[in-house]
């Protein structure tokens, strides 16, 4: 396009010279000469204007030329601000995200088994990458130098008191009590000699054996009956007494009492034990092995469950219009809020990129992008100049001599 525009300028110059050399520049040839002269003026003026945007015309440091190389940073900032203010707005971004129907399109993508396999594989690779980057030494240092000192410095008994109160209020301890009482009943039934030995040790030596046996049998029946009653009745007085005791303990731990201070000291001593660090490392090692075997094992139960979950989600995303519309609205709102909050930072990629360019490089990139239209400006200037020159020549002929 630059060659065409320059060629028209050369053609106009050749026509102009030819008219003055080979004709008397009157009549029809006068119009041709005037048109060629004006075409040269228009072509040179527009060439200067276009060239001045990107460089100094003919290398001459004429004022107000090479505008883009000199003003590229200002141009980048202005363009960045323009985009942030006019495009990265919630009112602009949210409707676009909503109309894109992201949920339905994502659901269609997820329906393909190959895509589900790909997603599961990528999740496994991501997990393996994370686990590979977490060093056991870092976990030990974090536990020893950060977590344990933080826990020791924290006042724990109020939290423990709140936990005990919540457990009693929700009845979450009943299953544990059921388990303990049931096991105690089974053990007592399987070990009757324990009570016999206790009675034999506590009774006087002169006590007849049959008396001890009678007492042991009676005591065994009473104990087993009492344990069975506690086991079978959630409203048993022993259970109610346990609940009251736990609530009283919770109240004592919540205040600055001697039992609260002793409990705090015991907890601190336990936390300072070296075994705590080793236990954390053991748990971390077991967790890593569990995650690896569960997520990275192809064809395993976890993989099957994840694929089933993805399939269910994909079906709902594509078939449940209310669910999809609600999710699209949430995505659109979130995207709009992000654009509104971080629009300036997002748009700054424009100004930062342009600022990183060399001045000549920036001019060349922009000229390459819009150069074709700019050369059309030169072509139009040549043609329009020729037409204007012909019209002006016609007016001069109409003027009185």
pLDDT tens digits for range 388-399? 999 998 998 888
Asked if residue 147 and residue 266 are part of one domain, the reply reads: yes
The pLDDT assigned to 153 comes to 86
The pLDDT assigned to 297 comes to 66
Please indicate, yes or no, if residue 345 is contained in any of the structural domains: no
The mean pLDDT value for 152-180 works out to: 87
The pLDDT assigned to 113 comes to 86
Where among 235, 252, 272 does a domain terminate? Answer: 272
Where among 248, 272, 296 does a domain terminate? Answer: 272
Asked if residue 38 and residue 146 are part of one domain, the reply reads: no
Asked if residue 362 and residue 255 are part of one domain, the reply reads: no
Q: Average the pLDDT over each of 70-74, 99-103, 182-186, 253-257 and give the range with the smallest value.
A: 70-74
Asked if residue 243 and residue 140 are part of one domain, the reply reads: yes
The pLDDT assigned to 62 comes to 82
Asked if residue 143 and residue 248 are part of one domain, the reply reads: yes
The pLDDT assigned to 305 comes to 80
Asked if residue 264 and residue 140 are part of one domain, the reply reads: yes
Per cent of the chain over pLDDT 90 is 17
End-to-end CA distance of the chain: 43
The mean pLDDT value for 302-324 works out to: 86
The mean pLDDT value for 46-68 works out to: 82
With cut-offs at 50, 70 and 90, classify the pLDDT of residue 104: very high
Where among 213, 248, 272 does a domain terminate? Answer: 272
Q: Could you list the residue range(s) of the whole structural domain that residue 164 is in?
A: 136-272
Whole-number mean pLDDT of the chain? 85
Please indicate, yes or no, if residue 321 is contained in any of the structural domains: no
Asked if residue 143 and residue 52 are part of one domain, the reply reads: no
Number of domains making up the chain? 2
Please indicate, yes or no, if residue 184 is contained in any of the structural domains: yes
With cut-offs at 50, 70 and 90, classify the pLDDT of residue 274: confident
Please indicate, yes or no, if residue 206 is contained in any of the structural domains: yes
Please indicate, yes or no, if residue 95 is contained in any of the structural domains: no
Please indicate, yes or no, if residue 379 is contained in any of the structural domains: yes
The pLDDT assigned to 355 comes to 80
Per cent of the chain over pLDDT 70 is 96
The pLDDT assigned to 295 comes to 67
The pLDDT assigned to 299 comes to 64
Residue 213, pLDDT > 80, answer no
Angle at 74 between CA 70 and CA 76, to 5 degrees: 110
Please indicate, yes or no, if residue 338 is contained in any of the structural domains: no
Are the CB atoms for 295 and 127 separated by under 8 Å? yes
Please indicate, yes or no, if residue 154 is contained in any of the structural domains: yes
With cut-offs at 50, 70 and 90, classify the pLDDT of residue 31: very high
Higher pLDDT, 388 or 139: 388
Report if pTM > 0.75.
Answer: no
218-232 pLDDT tens trace: 887 888 888 889 888
The pLDDT assigned to 12 comes to 93
Asked if residue 56 and residue 144 are part of one domain, the reply reads: no
Residue 116, pLDDT > 90, answer no
Higher pLDDT, 356 or 312: 312
Q: Which of 279, 284, 287, 288 is nearest to 148 (CA)?
A: 279
Provide the Cα torsion 150, 155, 161, 167; round to 10°.
-10
Residue 111, pLDDT > 70, answer yes
Asked if residue 267 and residue 165 are part of one domain, the reply reads: yes
Asked if residue 265 and residue 178 are part of one domain, the reply reads: yes
């Amino acid at each position: 396009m630059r060659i065409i525009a320059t060629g028209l300028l050369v053609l106009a110059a050749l026509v102009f010279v030819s008219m003055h050399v080979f004709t008397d520049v009157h009549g029809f040839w006068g119009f041709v000469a005037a048109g060629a002269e004006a075409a040269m003026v228009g072509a040179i003026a527009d060439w200067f204007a276009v060239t001045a945007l990107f460089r100094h015309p003919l290398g001459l440091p004429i004022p107000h030329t090479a505008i883009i190389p000199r003003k590229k940073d200002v141009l980048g900032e202005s363009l960045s601000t323009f985009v942030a203010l006019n495009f990265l707005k919630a009112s602009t971004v949210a409707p676009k995200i909503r109309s894109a129907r992201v949920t339905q399109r994502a659901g269609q993508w997820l329906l393909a088994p190959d895509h589900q396999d790909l997603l599961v594989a990528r999740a496994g690779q991501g997990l393996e990458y994370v686990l590979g980057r977490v060093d056991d030494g870092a976990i030990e240092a974090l536990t020893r130098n950060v977590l344990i000192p933080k826990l020791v410095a924290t006042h724990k008994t109020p939290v423990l008191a709140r936990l005990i109160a919540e457990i009693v209020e929700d009845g979450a301890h009943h299953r544990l009590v059921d388990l303990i009482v049931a096991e105690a009943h089974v053990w007592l039934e399987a070990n009757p000699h324990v009570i016999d030995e206790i009675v034999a040790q506590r009774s006087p030596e002169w006590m007849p054996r049959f008396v001890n046996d009678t007492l042991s049998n009676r005591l065994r029946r009473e104990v087993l009956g009492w344990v069975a009653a506690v086991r079978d009745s959630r409203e048993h007085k022993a259970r109610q007494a346990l609940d009251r005791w736990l609530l009283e303990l919770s109240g004592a731990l919540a205040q600055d009492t001697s039992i609260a201070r002793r409990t705090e000291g015991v907890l601190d001593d336990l936390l300072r034990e070296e075994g705590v660090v080793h236990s954390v490392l053991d748990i971390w090692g077991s967790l890593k092995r569990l995650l690896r075997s569960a997520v990275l094992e192809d064809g395993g139960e976890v993989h099957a469950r994840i694929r089933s979950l993805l399939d269910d989600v994909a079906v709902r995303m594509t078939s449940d219009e209310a669910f999809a519309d609600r999710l699209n609205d949430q995505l659109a709102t979130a995207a709009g809020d992000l654009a509104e909050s971080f629009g300036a930072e997002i748009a700054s990629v424009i100004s930062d990129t342009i600022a990183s360019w060399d001045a000549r490089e920036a001019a060349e990139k922009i000229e390459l992008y819009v150069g074709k239209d700019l050369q059309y400006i030169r072509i139009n200037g040549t043609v329009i100049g020729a037409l204007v020159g012909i019209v002006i020549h016609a007016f001069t002929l109409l003027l009185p001599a």
